[in-house]
Structure 1
Amino acid sequence: MARKILIVLTSHKELGNSGKPTGWYLPELAHPYDIFKAADYEMTFASPLGGVAPLDPGSVEAFAQDASSVSFVQNHAALWENTAKLSSFLGKADEFDALFYPGGHGPMFDLAVDADSQQLIAEFVAKGKVVSAVCHGPAVFVNVALPGTGEPLLKGKEVTGFSNVEEDQAQKTEYMPFLLEDRLNEVSGGKYVKAAEPWGVKVVVDGKLITGQNPASAHGVGEAIVKAVG
């Protein structure tokens, strides 16, 4: 029987109030998509608002020489242009094997504070399912409380995500509602980790929680999800 994964994309398309476009980041979906496809996964796509989940045009430009990203844009637009509404999956964790959040700056603005997303993650955790995110995607975990105890999901968990240095080098720090590295480190109790060098690959597996630091880590996150699901 095919494994099933629910992939949640941002609905947020503007970088703060800058007027600059943002959204989800192309290789952070394209690379795991290739892994999931090869593993014969059935993929379902959701977003807070449903419909079109905005693709960050800067990521299309930045990865114009990346075969996986180019192929995804050319062949799979229907996947992110027809997402289901995230809230429609509440109470349905039993129907999936894993939950995955690609990054991009969009999740910092909507999914980090989305009550439905927080409930969805808590339900997947309660059912012992794999929950995962890459780059800015781990922002979705910072406000999630564990069912029953009310403790932060990330408390005592080793976790990674887009670093402060990477945010500075991307020249996006001034637009962020919070710095992801700082918040992940705070909520986890000092358990945030990162690659030795900015933009280096870093994938962290702590039980059923899987996080990746940056775009370069997306492939590894996809592999870790498949391995963890079994």
Structure 2
Amino acid sequence: MKIVLILTSHDQLGNTGHKTGFWLEEFAAPYYTFVDAGADITLASPKGGQPPLDPKSDEPGAQTEATERFKKDPAAQKALANTVTLDTIKAEDFDAVFYPGGHGPLWDLAEDKQSIALIESTFAAGKPLALVCHAPGVLHHVKAANGEPLVKGKSVAGFTNTEEEAVQLTNVVPFLVEDMLKENGGNYSKGADWQPYVVTAGNLITGQNPASSEPAAQELLKMLAK
């Protein structure tokens, strides 16, 4: 099994002067889910190298078993510090694609032509494609084969407006994930804030928040097993 994880290279939280990036749990939980299943993992980002970590995801209250494992795993840390550039990634080289969230992807990956092309070709090939928390936002400009938004008519989940309100970034982000998915015609649904909630639509898997990252990764493995 060859799985590629696509991380953000964007580290500025709008014009707040604060840092953002990827959310640690949303990387670590899927990473170890795939490692423990024996997958061959590639890590990529638009700029390559070390992707920026959202400092809030490194705070004590945001730690999980997977993040603690990562902090004691020099091999995983080295892999993360050396992501390959997104322009070297081709859908035909992988069995599945996974996008961890964090706020960063809303700025760079949502607008990245290589990311859009990777998603479109992965989806068209019927390969599992999973995105969690803010990462469903990278589907903003992605089109299906018929030219309509990829999410149109599909069951999707993603970070909720109320969760964004809770972290007080409603007016900072370039767009709200929930609103965008609805505007693009997705059949958006959600669970309780901060609780695991994952939706599948064919080979598309979307998860609502950090707690949904491991279940989304497990769902991806189930698809691969089929």
Moved more, 22-31 or 54-63: 54-63
Partner Cα distance (1:63, 1:133) in 2: 23
Deviations 1:132-165 (A, max 9, x none): 1000010111210124x21211110100000000
Partner Cα distance (1:180, 1:6) in 2: 23
Structure 2 stretches lacking a partner, 5+ long: none
- TM-score normalised over the length of structure 1: 0.93
Does the Cα contact within 8 Å between 2:57 and 2:63 map onto a contact in 1?
Answer: no
Give the structure 2 partner of residue 100 of structure 1. Answer: 98
How big is the alpha-carbon RMSD for the aligned residues of Structure 1 and Structure 2? 1.2
Q: Paired residue for 2:149, among 137, 152, 156? A: 152
SS of aligned partner of 1:174: coil
Give the structure 2 partner of residue 204 of structure 1. Answer: 199
**Shift in Å at residue 123 of structure 1?**
1.0
Are 2:176 and 1:175 equivalent residues in the alignment?
A: no
- TM-score normalised over the length of structure 2: 0.95
**Shift in Å at residue 52 of structure 1?**
1.4
Q: Paired residue for 2:184, among 159, 183, 187? A: 187
Partner Cα distance (1:182, 1:143) in 2: 14
SS of aligned partner of 1:99: strand
Deviations 1:186-223 (A, max 9, x none): 1134x11000x211210001110000000111110011
**Shift in Å at residue 63 of structure 1?**
4.6
Partner Cα distance (1:46, 1:59) in 2: 20
**Shift in Å at residue 62 of structure 1?**
4.4
SS of aligned partner of 1:28: helix
Does the Cα contact within 8 Å between 1:63 and 1:69 map onto a contact in 2?
Answer: no
Partner Cα distance (1:221, 1:74) in 2: 24
In the alignment of these two chains, the number of paired residues is 223
SS of aligned partner of 1:210: strand
Counterpart AA for 1:208: N
Give the structure 2 partner of residue 16 of structure 1. Answer: 14
Counterpart AA for 1:133: L
Structure 1 stretches lacking a partner, 5+ long: none
Partner Cα distance (1:4, 1:210) in 2: 17
Give the structure 2 partner of residue 119 of structure 1. Answer: 117
Partner Cα distance (1:130, 1:62) in 2: 33
Partner Cα distance (2:54, 2:36) in 1: 25
Give the structure 2 partner of residue 226 of structure 1. Answer: 221
Partner Cα distance (2:179, 2:209) in 1: 15
Does the Cα contact within 8 Å between 1:164 and 1:180 map onto a contact in 2?
Answer: yes
